[in-house]
């Protein structure tokens, strides 16, 4: 027992030491390793329905999409993969939703029976916890909230699938798969038709939309609300900004989606009033991160695609299962513009002042995200020129991948003829979007420079 205890202690110290020397590179390495493990599992012969090995590009693409909780696919999940393959995909979604750094902290706690300082810092950074003392409670909150919400959604969906005529085991499997995929904002579906056949059914679309909404808020918001749900004045600035921005964006997206597509004969036009309203509500929740599509996006107008590209790039809350630059990033940028327009020195919200460090981080995250999107779109256009892919479709695909949303406007034929180079590029975009642009930038930096000498300041002309 003493040797086992010494081993646990040594392993915990080793994890702390590695994380301390290069936490960002450790995050990227662990995340990449997990994706490769799931790629290997999906490359096994019994992972496909045909019993043949999946093409490496498809296996890597699917594994990355699952672990990065995106939902983009190159093959039909409900047809191409076997039951084993779909279980692997579901596990990948669960692991990705929890977050690699959070998972590493849980592993370190289980192995060494303690949580080292560095591991606390890593977990706090991944989940955006308020302080080091919050992390243990944060980890418990992550497990309890995620599992609890998924179980509730599955229990609600199960009888609906049974009533629909599916066998008991199939109904249970579909209910669990949809529940996990919804809360983790993954957008994967276990059946060939997906959510389209339930477009006007609130029994199915309602719980899935609520799961996506809760998952996109972020774990720090759950922790804050659980602690102070009776006293809103005690909510953190992060919680207030997240809730306000999510509500505003949901109403704006619902209104514009209805305005653009209400009479479109290729989308909402032929549906009855009830189905239209449910679909608009469902779409307003899923446009930013969920990735579930109740109607075909191929037939939507191009200005609707532009709307969804903006919403996907914004994403959801920090420290949750959503992607994008995050709603709080947008809030800080908007508040900065408002402060400048009013001639105010400080950026303020809800009686709090937001520091310049936060503004710099918001600008960095946004610009790095735009850089990934522009480079990705340029490469994808070049590599699909012979296929005739247009800029609007390419841009939608790139933004959806980087924002880990999972919506797509490509037809089945276009997906089938997608070159391997484009599949690999999309995998890189999903990886970069889920891991975080700032984390990748830090991981690639050789060292962190601390300058003692500072140059005199001078203000260049702007605008």
Render pLDDT for 397-451 as a digit per residue (tens, 0 to 9): 999 999 999 999 998 889 999 999 999 999 999 999 988 765 665 555 444 556 6
**3-class secondary structure, 35:** helix
Alpha carbons 129 and 105: distance in angstroms, whole number:
13
pLDDT above 70 (res 125): no
Average pLDDT over residues 47-54: 94
| CB neighbours of residue 129 within 10 Å | 24
Q: Which of 113-122, 139-148, 277-286 has the lowest mean pLDDT?
A: 113-122
Higher pLDDT, 260 or 218: 260
pTM: 0.88
Best CA proximity match to 222, nearest among 131, 325, 320, 126 = 320
In whole angstroms, give the CA distance from residue 13 to residue 25.
18
Q: CB–CB of 96/35 below 8 Å? A: no
pLDDT tens, residue by residue, 270-320: 999 999 999 999 999 988 888 898 888 888 999 999 999 999 999 988 877
Question: What ranges in 315-390 are assigned the alpha helix state H?
Answer: 327-341, 356-383
Residue 136 — very low, low, confident or very high, per pLDDT cuts 50/70/90? Answer: low
Sequence-distant (≥ 6) Cβ neighbours of residue 452 within 8 angstroms: none
* C-alpha–C-alpha distance, residues 396 and 408, integer Å: 7
**8 Å CB contact between 357 and 346:** no
In angstroms, the CA 403 to CA 309 distance is 9
- Report the DSSP beta bridge partners of residue 354: 347
At 237-282, the pLDDT tens digits run: 999 999 999 999 999 999 999 999 999 999 999 999 999 999 999 9
């Amino acid at each position: 027992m003493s040797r086992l205890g010494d081993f646990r202690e040594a392993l915990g110290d080793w994890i702390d030491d590695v994380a301390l020397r290069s936490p960002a590179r450790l995050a990227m390495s662990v995340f990449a390793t997990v994706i490769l493990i799931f790629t290997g599992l999906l490359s096994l012969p019994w992972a496909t329905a045909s019993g043949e090995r999946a093409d490496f590009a498809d296996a890597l693409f699917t594994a990355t999409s699952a672990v990065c909780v995106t939902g983009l696919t190159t093959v039909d999940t409900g047809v191409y993969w076997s039951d084993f393959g779909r279980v692997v995909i579901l596990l990948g979604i669960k692991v990705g939703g929890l977050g690699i750094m959070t998972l590493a902290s849980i592993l370190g706690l289980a192995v060494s029976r303690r949580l080292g300082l560095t591991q606390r810092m890593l977990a706090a950074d991944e989940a955006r916890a308020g302080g080091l003392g919050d992390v243990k409670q944060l980890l418990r909150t992550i497990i309890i909230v995620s599992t609890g919400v998924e179980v509730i959604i599955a229990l609600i969906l199960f009888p609906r699938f049974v009533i629909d005529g599916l066998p008991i085991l199939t109904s249970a499997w579909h209910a669990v798969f949809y529940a996990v995929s919804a809360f983790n904002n993954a957008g994967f579906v276990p059946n060939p038709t997906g959510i389209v056949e339930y477009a006007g059914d609130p029994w199915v679309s309602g719980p899935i939309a609520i799961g996506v909404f809760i998952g996109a808020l972020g774990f720090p918001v759950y922790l804050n609300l659980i602690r102070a749900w009776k006293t809103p004045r005690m909510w953190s600035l992060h919680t207030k900004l997240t809730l306000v921005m999510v509500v505003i964006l949901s109403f704006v997206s619902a209104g514009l989606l209805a305005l653009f597509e209400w009479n479109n004969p290729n989308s909402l036009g032929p549906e009855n009033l009830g189905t239209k309203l449910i679909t608009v509500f469902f779409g307003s929740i899923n446009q930013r991160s969920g990735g579930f599509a109740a109607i075909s996006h191929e037939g939507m107008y191009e200005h609707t695609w532009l709307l969804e590209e903006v919403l996907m790039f914004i994403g959801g809350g920090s420290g949750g299962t959503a992607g994008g630059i995050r709603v709080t990033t947008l809030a800080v940028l908007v508040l900065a513009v408002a402060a400048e327009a009013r001639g105010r020195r400080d950026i303020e919200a809800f009686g709090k002042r937001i520091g310049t460090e936060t503004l710099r981080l918001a600008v960095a995250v946004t610009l790095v995200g735009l850089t990934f999107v522009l480079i990705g779109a340029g490469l994808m256009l070049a590599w699909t020129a012979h296929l005739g892919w247009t800029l609007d479709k390419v841009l939608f695909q790139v933004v959806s991948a980087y924002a880990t949303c999972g919506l797509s406007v490509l037809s089945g034929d276009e997906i089938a003829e997608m070159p391997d180079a484009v599949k690999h590029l999309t995998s890189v975009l999903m990886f970069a979007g889920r891991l975080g642009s700032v984390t990748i930038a830090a991981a690639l930096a050789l060292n962190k420079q601390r300058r003692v000498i500072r140059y005199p300041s001078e203000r260049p002309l702007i605008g």
